[in-house]
Every structure is written in structure tokens, then in C-alpha cells.
Amino acid sequence: MFDLDKWQEITAALKKNKLRTILTGLGVMFGILILVTLLGIGRGFQNNIQSSLGNFATNSTVFWVERTTKAYKGLPRNRFYRFTNDDLVALKQGIPELEHIAPDINGWSGGATHNTFRNEKKGNFRIKGTSPEMNMVNPVEVISGRFINENDLKEFRKVITIGPRVKELMFEEDEDPIGQYLKVNGIFFKIIGEIKPLSNNMGNRDDIIQLPYTTLQQLYNYGDKFYVFLATAKVGESVAELEDKIFEILARRHSIHPEDNQAIGHFNIAKIFNKIFGLFNSIGFLFWVIGFGVLITGVIGVSNIMHVVVKERTKELGIKRAIGAKPALVVGQIINESVFLTTFAGFWGLVLGVVIVELIGKATEGSPNPQILNPYVDINVAFIALGVLVFFGVLAGLLPAQRAIKIKPVDALRYE
């Protein structure tokens, strides 16, 4: 309830030494401002990392061919081999923990010249063989049309999906590319979908043209061979164990010495992901600690000031007690002042913090390679911060208030 008398008491006391009140308020304000800004920026970092990782499956591993380093079964060392489509089937059947497996095959880029033509338009794009399973591991978003399906793979269809940059360069703005044809490396492909990569991993960029990997193998005379594939473990399964099992089966199928680890290159992506997540968890934690520390400093400032204020007003409080102010009222009044000061200053810190975070968001929005993406202040965080402020406001007032009523009225009256 709004009590004019209480209000007057509060403002009168704080107005008495305006400069000091303002400086103290600024302490709290900056505390909360720094806390909120740091958390907002931390969120922005996290968003940025998450968006560059996109929806890339975190529990994944990548395998690629190397030369053998050990002679085995009468075969020489330094031998070259390639993965085959049959390997995919064998791995899927042999390893229950395996969720998805997808070959990653690149087509030719035009080098210095162009590899894609349509009427007068030409461009040089990134060409990749893909599969529905690849889209589970390193997904793209379908904007219109559809993604490549199993039938496209089976029937070696000459169909493609194109990224935003391809659409932009090869079509007019108001043109619908679906159903149109592009000449890629001398062959006409029908466009079945417009897509947008959800991560930058494994060459998924805006200038991508995807076609069924079987079609790519056929047109480029790769047979059923490829050099690289991605695999994911089922939820809860260890990627490291999956890697061991894949290695074992591949080694057997390609007559590679069971201990020739270097013959099959592989890389546990899950490990890197965990490192990154760990990193931004600790960054987030650090930001909390710093922000909280600054906030506490502000609150200690308030407590100090309340201490001085109460000391200065010893006589006044003595007079009030002499004419009938009860201790509870005196304590309440001091706490009111301190809570008012902290929440008022804290509120403006919060508002300023939100504005700053917004501005940072605006400033980084257009930049092509932002370090911070969509920073924002969690409303819960804001409320927690405000709650913490009120709590510390009470605490900051409580100690000096206790001191104020501990001395006898007569001593308070005598105080000069």
C-alpha cells in the first residue's frame, strides 16, 4: 500500500545527501547493467555457436580413406582402397548402435571458370552428392519443393536441390526455380527443391547444389565408390565404441591389418561438440560470476551508505524514539530506504542493460560474420536479478538498522 508518510521519510533521508545517494545508486545500477549485458552477450555467443553448428548431429563421426601402413594377407603396405556402397549396407546390418550413415561425395567445381549454366546466366557452385540420411546428420531446411528421396537414389535421377546463392545468381527474383533446369558440368538437372543450409559444417554453404549421391557416382564414373562418409550413433550410444565397430568391419572388408589404425581416417565429432558446449557453459558461468560480483559490490556500497546515513541520523532517530517510534518502525524505515534505493537503481540498470543488449543485437544483425547472434535478456533472469536486488536491499539495510536500535534512546539523543 502506498503510504505518503513512509514515502516522505524515505525521500527526505535520501535527498539529504543527493550526490552520495546518486553515486550509490549508480553502483547498483552498473552492477545490474553489467550482469544483464554480460548474460545477454553470453546468450548471443551461444546462439552464434549453436547456429553455426546448426542441427548437425552432435553424436557423429566422420570416416575417410587413407593408405595402408601395414602389409596384410599378402597385400602390400601403402595400398590405396575406397569405400563402396556395399560397405554402407554391411555396416548398417552389422552395427545395431549405428543410426545413420551417409557418404559425402563432392562434385567438380569449375575451378577458375564456371560449372553451372542457364540461358545467359552462369555461376560456379559447390556440388555435393547427398541422401535422405545425410539430411539427418547434416540437415538443410527445405524452403520450397522437396528434398532428395530414396527413389531419386535408386533410379539415379538427374535432380538437384539448390541453395539461396544459386537461386539468387541463376534466377530472377520473381522466378520460381522448382521444375526448371540447370546445366551442371555439362548435364541438365531438374530442380526439385530450394534449400537453406542449417550449419556451415562439411561444406554446407549457401552456394550449394545437391544431387543424389548415386547419380553423382554414375555421372562422374565413380562406380559405387567414395572416400568419405558420416555416421551417427543412436541416442545414448557411445560414438567412440561405434568408431571401433565401424573400423573392425571396414578393416575386414578391405583386408586391412586389424591394428593398422592409420589406414582408415576417422574423427570423433562428438568430442569436439562436447568441448564447445563445455566452453560456452563455462563462459556463461563466468559471466554470471562476474556480473554477480559487480552486483554484490554495488549492494555492499548501499550497505555502506546506509551505515553512514544511519550514523548521521542517530540523533534524529533518537528524537523519534523518544516521542514514540517503536524499534520495528525504525528498522522498517531504514530497510525501506535501502530497498527503495537498490530496486530503483537496479530497475534502471535493468532497463539500460536491456537497451544495450538490444542495440548490440541491432548492430550485429546485418554483419555477415557475426560473433554474437540475437542476444537477448531472458525475462526470468531479469526477474531473478530484481528479486536478488530486493533481497540484498533488505540485507543492506538490516545491519545498520540493527545498529540504530541497539543504542539506547538517551545515547542517540546525546549523539552529535
Partner 1 sequence: MIRLQNIHKSYITGTNKLHVLKGIDLHIKKGELVSIMGSSGSGKSTLLNILGLLDNHDEGVYELNNEEIKSMSETKAAKLRNNLLGFVFQSFNLISFKNAMENVALPLYYQKVSRKKRNKLALEYLDKMGLKEWAHHMPNELSGGQKQRVAVARAMITEPKIILADEPTGALDSKTSVEVMELLKEINKSGITVIIVTHENDIAHMTDRIINLKDGRIESIVENNKINNTESVQIPIQE
Contact residues for partner 1, defined by CB under 8 A: 4-5, 12, 15-16, 315-316, 319-329, 405, 408-410, 413
Question: Which residue, 355 or 413, is less far from partner 1 as judged by CB?
Answer: 413
**CA 56 – CA 45 distance, rounded (Å):** 18
How many angstroms from the chain centroid is the CA of residue 89?
A: 35
Question: Which residue, 210 or 314, is less far from partner 1 as judged by CB?
Answer: 314
Residue that is written with C-alpha cell 538490444 in the block: 358
Shortest separation between residue 20's beta carbon and partner 1, angstroms? 16
Shortest separation between residue 410's beta carbon and partner 1, angstroms? 4
Identify the three-state secondary structure at position 128.
Answer: strand
Question: Which residue, 266 or 321, is less far from partner 1 as judged by CB?
Answer: 321
Question: Which residue, 23 or 410, is less far from partner 1 as judged by CB?
Answer: 410
Question: Which residue, 290 or 322, is less far from partner 1 as judged by CB?
Answer: 322
What are the DSSP E strand ranges found in 175-244?
A: 181-184, 187-197, 208-212, 225-226, 228-233
Shortest separation between residue 8's beta carbon and partner 1, angstroms? 8
Shortest separation between residue 314's beta carbon and partner 1, angstroms? 12
CB of 59 closer than 8 Å to CB of 236? no
What the block records as the C-alpha cell of 384 is 531473478
Shortest separation between residue 21's beta carbon and partner 1, angstroms? 14
Question: Which residue, 5 or 174, is less far from partner 1 as judged by CB?
Answer: 5
Shortest separation between residue 394's beta carbon and partner 1, angstroms? 20
176 to each of 123, 164, 172, 206, 231, how far by Cα in Å?
18, 12, 8, 18, 34
Question: Which residue, 15 or 362, is less far from partner 1 as judged by CB?
Answer: 15
Which residues make Cβ contacts (< 8 Å) with residue 281, sequence separation at least 6? none
Residue that is written with C-alpha cell 547444389 in the block: 209
Shortest separation between residue 407's beta carbon and partner 1, angstroms? 11
**CA 238 – CA 281 distance, rounded (Å):** 22
**CA 125 – CA 123 distance, rounded (Å):** 6
**CA 253 – CA 83 distance, rounded (Å):** 10
**CA 66 – CA 88 distance, rounded (Å):** 18
Shortest separation between residue 386's beta carbon and partner 1, angstroms? 30
What the block records as the C-alpha cell of 377 is 535478456
Identify the three-state secondary structure at position 73.
Answer: coil
First vs last C-alpha separation in the chain: 35
CB of 270 closer than 8 Å to CB of 58? yes
Shortest separation between residue 416's beta carbon and partner 1, angstroms? 10
Question: Which residue, 234 or 326, is less far from partner 1 as judged by CB?
Answer: 326
CB of 254 closer than 8 Å to CB of 63? no
**CA 399 – CA 15 distance, rounded (Å):** 21
Question: Which residue, 154 or 326, is less far from partner 1 as judged by CB?
Answer: 326
